[in-house]
Amino acid sequence: MKKIISAIFYFLVIPLGKLSAQSENTIFPLGTISYKNISYCNDTLTNHQLDIYTPSNGKNSYPVVIWIHGGGWRKGDKSDAMDNMSSTVKEMIAKGYAIVSINYRYSTDFKFPTQIIDCNKAITFIYNHAAKYKIDSDNIALMGFSAGGHLAALLGLSNNNKIKAFYSEAEDPKFKIKLVIDYFGINDITTLKGPGTDNPHTGVTLLLGASASERPDLAVFASPINYIDKNDPPFLILHGDKDLAVDYTQSKY
């Protein structure tokens, strides 16, 4: 998975934007194979859909990067940030990596751990259907932005901890995470400062249904840092020190 690390260095700080149908044609290399709006829960919810992009070089399988969008857990779309990371996207596909971008349910209607349950469900779907889409189920990396960075970190660190509440069927995951790329995600809700920490209509307070001070147990439960152990995958964490939304100290340990 080392090539993934080199590929993502093209953009260290990026604005997030939704990918349009027209811009998609200019972002992915010519011949990229795409599968759009696949339900990973066998329902009709848009928030339970994913997109798959694979190279067209004829290989039997490709290592995969799971793309997890940001938006404060309350908005966003599976194509977010691709416009602004076109060089990175092109590099990953050109180097022989598949990309799977996923949606998940919003905190406006569903509180934590719904979001991590959905992400695990999406990865389980990819693992179970790997052969159909020519994906190497033994080489799965995660790439998340802001709220998606939090979810990517939590997915990667809890993957070997057997947290039943993080899975819809309350069973141990079959898949293993090989690498996590965390763009300015929240890693310790209990120490988070700034916007979204007390406003009940946004941020972590909306995610948890209470502030961290009101429900420290939930804040600990939802914080990736509490699942660190020696068996975790390698991480690449990127965070600008001028970030006004997520305190950059969330990425310093």
* Residue of higher predicted confidence among 25 and 187: 187
User: pLDDT: is 100 or 213 the higher one?
Assistant: 100
DSSP labels, 33-73: EEEEEEESSSS--GGGEEEEEE--S--S-EEEEEEE--STT
Per-residue pLDDT tens over the stretch 147-176 = 999 999 999 999 999 899 999 886 778 899
CATH fold label, 2-11+18-251: Rossmann fold (3.40.50)
For 46, which DSSP code?
G
pLDDT of residue 13: 35
| Nearest by Cα to 187 from 215, 227, 128, 159 | 227
Say what the pLDDT of residue 241 is.
72
Q: Determine how many CB atoms are found less than 10 A away from the CB of residue 82.
A: 26
Question: Rounded to a whole number, what is the distance in angstroms from the first to the last CA of the chain?
Answer: 24
Residue 4 has pLDDT above 50, yes or no: no
pLDDT at 184: 81
Q: Percentages helix, strand, coil for the chain, rounded to the nearest 5?
A: 35, 20, 50
For residue 196, the model assigns a pLDDT of 60
User: Poorest-confidence range of 85-99, 159-173, 216-230, 235-249?
Assistant: 235-249
Per residue in 109-123, pLDDT (tens digit) is 999 999 999 999 999
Q: What is the distance between the alpha carbons of residues 101 and 85, in angstroms, rounded to a whole number? A: 13
CB 78 within 8 A of CB 69: yes
What six digits make up the tokens of 102?
């996923």
In 3-state terms, what secondary structure has residue 41? coil
Separation between Cα atoms, residue 16 and residue 237, nearest integer Å: 17
The answer to whether residue 250 scores a pLDDT higher than 90 is: no
pLDDT of residue 104: 98
